[in-house]
Amino acid sequence: MKKNTSVTYFIGLFLLTISIFTFSSCEKNDKNNPLVKDAFNNGTSERNMIVVISDIHMGADLAYAEFNENMKPLENLLAKIEGSANVKELVIAGDLLDEWFVPANVNTYKGKDQRDFVQRIAASNKSVFDAFQLVR
């Protein structure tokens, strides 16, 4: 089968061009960069924004919780919300805690009750709960 080198060249050039435009248009998330937009700043001092988050799924045991990798980014998000002059309200639309993603061989409540389970979640994710306390 004979290859059409001009078509192959064109496709390669096209993909290279798209890649250059894509990566050159990405903005660095830098506070000193005036081009970076703050999603929680509408340019006024009016508190009129409502931020909705959901499906956080904080678990009681960090050994298997899916939330582990998202703990620090959520803390950063909450700090931005707390520092915003425009956010009026933070709504948690559901699934803050995770009672579902538990390995089958683990006793979720460890012989205790749901209250104890929730307290273990709060203890395991203390830095996030502390960040929630700051958002007012």
pLDDT tens for 108-117 read 888 899 999 9
Q: What does the pLDDT read at residue 120?
A: 94
**Position 7 pLDDT exceeds 80:** no
**H-assigned helices in 25-112:** 71-83
| pLDDT over 90 percentage in the chain | 44
DSSP-derived secondary structure for 47-71: --EEEEE----B-S-TTT-GGGGGH
Spatial CA neighbour of 59 closest among 131, 122, 130, 133: 122
Q: What does the pLDDT read at residue 75?
A: 95
pLDDT tens for 33-68 read 666 678 899 989 899 999 999 999 999 988 888 888
| Reported pTM | 0.68
Q: What does the pLDDT read at residue 36?
A: 60
CB neighbours of residue 58 within 10 Å: 23
CB-based contact 56:91 (threshold 8 Å): no
Residues in the chain, total: 136
pLDDT tens for 81-103 read 999 999 999 999 989 998 777 88
Q: Domain-by-domain residue ranges, the chain?
A: 29-134
